[in-house]
Structure 1
């Protein structure tokens, strides 16, 4: 009992030290914040009350084909499409936007699938687009598929890239998001904000994260890494990220995906640990599509690391979708 008592005292002391240290670190960050200035080639539109950052790549050779709207995933911004979008704009207008809470879009809760779907519909309306094809990357696939389920007349088709649009992990198809209790503890103030702030203040950790998901072809020079960091270094950037991370992952259920009637195409990367060939095959059965393309040797951010190969993979899918 004496040892248990001592262990409890030591543990309590460690908790106090961690909490105090985190609070002091955040106080110091408020006094000496890091701000990164990056080029912002986009504009802002009002998407159902959410000031939304949008970028546009006009078609080089207009063909009358449906425009393409690109939806980034968790902790991503329009910069993830910076090398892909110009290639896709060969024969159609291409647009990308920052989902609420990310990038240079306003930090406007709630951070829910319904609200994110409203925003996508609002972007399409604000840009006066007629039945675009929507490509959602990673978690962005959930938003694209959600709009297709809610309003099939709003889109011509959906491409789910490196994500199946559901909130599940692995073989467990019942527990949305996973790890809720631990995730809540790790994201609560002051520890969560202190850890994330410490990461984004420095290029090294961000560079390592990007390299691990992107592969050898990924741009990881200082300017490219600053484009990743900049949104999180703006006021409220870390807070909104943690508010989103604290919730279960957004996504449709398997049964909801089975009710989608809009044409869907699927792209996966062989070395993507979050969405592999088996996941793509299972999703293809749910949405009843033969349009499945894999990228051998590619990782989760192949669209950024290997844009030419990614473009070649989805070009036939875009043709089939309209």
Structure 2
């Protein structure tokens, strides 16, 4: 009996070893094929570039339709996003003030310059503000972009008028330990499997369409042109490698204690159907930031800024009015 079990264990072990070897070989072959036949999308990147703390950074600008003297807005996107996520809501926000959005290092049409950590991302935001010569703007962060916005608020509170946290609380999303900056889940993804998996996702529209639809809801554009706008930056040379490096890095974020020391005015916007940041997280964050400017978007999801831009813009209004009204 024991001898038979030993034989089966050896067979299972050998089978698993063969499968692992085949997976590595298939991943390497797929990457080789991708290098021979890369996908490149002819997608225009509206906007311009600035040097932000040594990083060539892509910026988009929506001039105020009716200038009012209100502070400008600087929009900071989240993980695996780009300025595209603001493309539907930014024109609405620009009704009475200048609006700027930029691609965080490693994403969009900005250079891929490591390290991909909160300190470097904060440096970049400060570089954007300096390059654009913006006077005390309001910074709106989405998802993990909230961490960057609040990190700058801690570093240079006098340089901004306020921070609006949308669909994110500025702390790592995963893991029980909220006492260590940059903690949370850390994915160890080996070569060549990780690059092959990311390449397989971004080469094809279907996976991206599925992810966007799930996070955005029925109001989100999911036609081929919209999905290609998502995919194009990742298909640029170095795009996949940067994404894999970001995935292997600790999630950016402040600790609860750090958030509690933020002194600039803040406001919070959350979506009721957002699985990563809902009412409990928004309530706890409001207590840490000592703010009562909390707005819910009923029925909306994580990418409400793209799927429901009119309501998202309206949800930002209490904070915008409080941080430099007429």
TM range (shorter): over 0.9
**Alignment match of 1:79 (pick from 74, 84, 92):** 84
- 1:116 maps onto 2:118 in alignment: no
Distance in 2 separating the partners of 1:138 and 1:115: 17
- 1:314 maps onto 2:316 in alignment: yes
**Alignment match of 2:26 (pick from 21, 32, 55):** 21
State the 1:179 CA deviation: 3.7
Hey, what does 2:222 align to over in structure 1?
A: 220
- 1:128 maps onto 2:133 in alignment: yes
Hey, what does 1:144 align to over in structure 2?
A: 149
**Structure 1 runs of 4+ off > 4 angstroms?**
174-177
Hey, what does 2:203 align to over in structure 1?
A: 201
Distance in 1 separating the partners of 2:175 and 2:18: 38
Q: Secondary structure at the match of 1:100?
A: coil
Q: Secondary structure at the match of 1:297?
A: coil
Hey, what does 1:4 align to over in structure 2?
A: 9
> TM-score of the superposition, structure 1-length normalised?
0.97
State the 1:170 CA deviation: 6.8
Q: Secondary structure at the match of 2:50?
A: strand
- 1:67-106 to 2 correspondences below 5 Å: 67-106=72-111
**Alignment match of 1:293 (pick from 295, 302, 311):** 295
Q: Rg larger in 1 or in 2?
A: 2
- 1:164-179 to 2 correspondences below 5 Å: 164-169=169-174, 173-174=178-179, 177-179=183-185
Query: 2:183, 2:253 within 8 Å by CA — same for their partners in 1?
Result: no
Distance in 2 separating the partners of 1:174 and 1:256: 9
How many pairs align?
318
**Alignment match of 1:266 (pick from 265, 268, 282):** 268
Hey, what does 1:45 align to over in structure 2?
A: 50
State the 1:316 CA deviation: 2.1
Name stretches of at least 5 consecutive residues in structure 2 with no aligned partner. Answer: 1-5
Q: Deviations over 1:182-210 (max 9, x none)?
A: x20xx321111101101111111100000
RMSD: 1.1
Name stretches of at least 5 consecutive residues in structure 1 with no aligned partner. Answer: none
Distance in 1 separating the partners of 2:278 and 2:185: 21
Higher deviation after alignment, 71-80 or 38-47: 38-47
Q: Secondary structure at the match of 1:158?
A: strand
Distance in 1 separating the partners of 2:239 and 2:178: 31
Distance in 2 separating the partners of 1:68 and 1:170: 32
Q: Deviations over 1:23-79 (max 9, x none)?
A: 000000000000011121110000011000000000000011100000000000000
Hey, what does 1:243 align to over in structure 2?
A: 245
Q: Secondary structure at the match of 1:218?
A: coil
State the 1:6 CA deviation: 1.2
Hey, what does 1:253 align to over in structure 2?
A: 255
**1:111–1:170 Cα change, 3 Å:** closer
Hey, what does 2:193 align to over in structure 1?
A: 191
> TM-score of the superposition, structure 2-length normalised?
0.96
Hey, what does 2:70 align to over in structure 1?
A: 65
Distance in 1 separating the partners of 2:176 and 2:278: 12
Query: 1:54, 1:96 within 8 Å by CA — same for their partners in 2?
Result: yes
